[in-house]
């Protein structure tokens, strides 16, 4: 059994007059430190899977295990990276990053040094005393990631975190975020509509079909692509082959849904 296991997960949303079967019989195992992505047509249940892993919703069927124990029976901490950075404009970047420890009344010298260290890792060592409005969108997203990393979550959920950024910033961030989460050995789940982003960041990609959402295909990303610069990776034959393969499957799914 891996670090995170979803076993026979199905979920239905009920309203007063009807119900929607959002996902059906999802089974997957993710090892500690792995990065996986979920791709699929709109409404195939990608966000529902993230909500179940985060504990926000309890699936109508099936079990989620972390390290072999049901997720409901332990305090698994979850980190999020979303489209919006939610930085506080009146606090400096360092103060924003220290927000979690501040709320927990745990701003020690050690934590302050850790904040600086993480900010340096994210290429933000020279803007620790700046305010969010002084930073570009990509820098703000990096600060938001640093703020989550300092709380040392077990699992990282990324829900289309780069969709508001320009193309060049997005490519650079994909690499930086994927490498940083690997360095800190975080188990990460990304929801995206962008095939290139999924290939650039992941160890493995799950393609979901809709109505209800099921795993239609699984793709392993060749290891050597991860060591390449994002621009170079996109020129690589393996990247293009995998892109074409996923594109065809996705089109077929969208056609049939
Ligand atoms: N709160 C809810 N109540 C009722 N139905 C819901 C609710 N949330 C999601 N659904 C339905 O469940 C299905 C899966 O939705 P979900 O948002 O998980 O898909 P998704 O793949 O994340 O979609 P998108 O790519 O459009 O963000 C859809 O049919 C959606 O309409």
Kindly tell me if the per-residue pLDDT of 212 is higher than 80. Answer: yes
Q: Whose CA is nearest to atom 7 of ligand 1?
A: 13
* Kind and range of the H or E run holding 157: strand 155-159
User: Given a cut of 70, is residue 103 above it in pLDDT?
Assistant: yes
Neighbours of 33 (CB within 10 A): 15
Residues of the chain with CATH 3.40.50.300: 1-77+157-166+186-257
For residue 42 and ligand 1, the question of a CB distance below 6 A is answered with yes
Task: Give 178-211 pLDDT, tens digit per residue.
Answer: 888 988 999 999 999 999 999 999 999 999 999 8
**Ligand 1 mean position, distance from CA 101 (Å):** 34
Closest-CA residue, ligand 1 atom 18, reads 45
CATH class belonging to 1-77+157-166+186-257: alpha beta
Residue 86 Cβ < 6 Å to ligand 1: no
Q: How many CA atoms lie within 13 A of 98 on its CB side?
A: 21
Closest CA to 85 of 46, 136, 128: 136
The pLDDT value recorded for residue 156 is: 94
Mean predicted lDDT score pLDDT of the chain:
91
Q: What ipTM does this complex have?
A: 0.96
Side by side, the strands of the sheet bearing 155-159 are: 78-81, 155-159, 187-191, 35-39, 204-209, 214-220
Q: Is the pLDDT assigned to residue 17 strictly greater than 90? A: no
In angstroms, the CA 250 to CA 244 distance is 10
pLDDT at 257 over 70: no
Protein residue with least CA distance to atom 3, ligand 1:
13
Evaluate whether 31 touches 3 at the Cβ level (below 8 Å). Answer: yes
Assigned token pair, 75 = 């305090």
> What is the layout of strands, in order, in the sheet containing 69-70?
19-30, 4-14, 61-66, 69-70
Structure tokens at 159: 């829900």
């Amino acid at each position: 059994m891996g670090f995170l296991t979803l076993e026979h997960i199905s979920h239905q949303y009920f309203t007063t007059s009807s119900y929607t079967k959002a996902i059906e019989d999802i089974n997957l195992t993710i090892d500690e430190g792995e990065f996986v992505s979920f791709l699929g047509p709109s409404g195939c249940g990608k966000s529902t899977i993230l909500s179940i892993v985060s504990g926000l919703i309890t699936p109508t069927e099936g079990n989620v295990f972390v390290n072999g124990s049901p997720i409901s029976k332990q305090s698994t901490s979850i980190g999020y990276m979303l489209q919006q950075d939610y930085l506080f404009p009146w606090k400096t970047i360092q103060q924003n990053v220290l927000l979690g420890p501040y709320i927990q009344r745990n701003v020690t010298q050690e934590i302050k040094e850790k904040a600086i260290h993480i900010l340096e890792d994210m290429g933000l060592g020279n803007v620790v005393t700046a305010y969010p409005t002084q930073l570009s969108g990509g820098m703000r997203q990096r600060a938001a990631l640093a703020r989550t990393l300092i709380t040392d979550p077990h699992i990282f959920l990324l829900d289309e975190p780069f969709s508001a950024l320009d193309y060049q910033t997005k490519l650079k961030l994909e690499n930086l975020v994927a490498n940083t989460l690997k360095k800190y050995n975080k188990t990460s789940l990304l929801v995206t509509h962008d095939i290139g982003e999924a290939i650039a960041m992941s160890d493995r990609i799950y393609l979901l079909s809709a109505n209800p959402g099921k795993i239609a295909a699984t793709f392993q990303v060749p290891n050597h692509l991860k060591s390449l610069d994002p621009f170079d990776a996109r020129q690589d034959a393996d990247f293009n082959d995998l892109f074409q393969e996923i594109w065809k499957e996705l089109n077929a799914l969208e056609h049939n849904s």
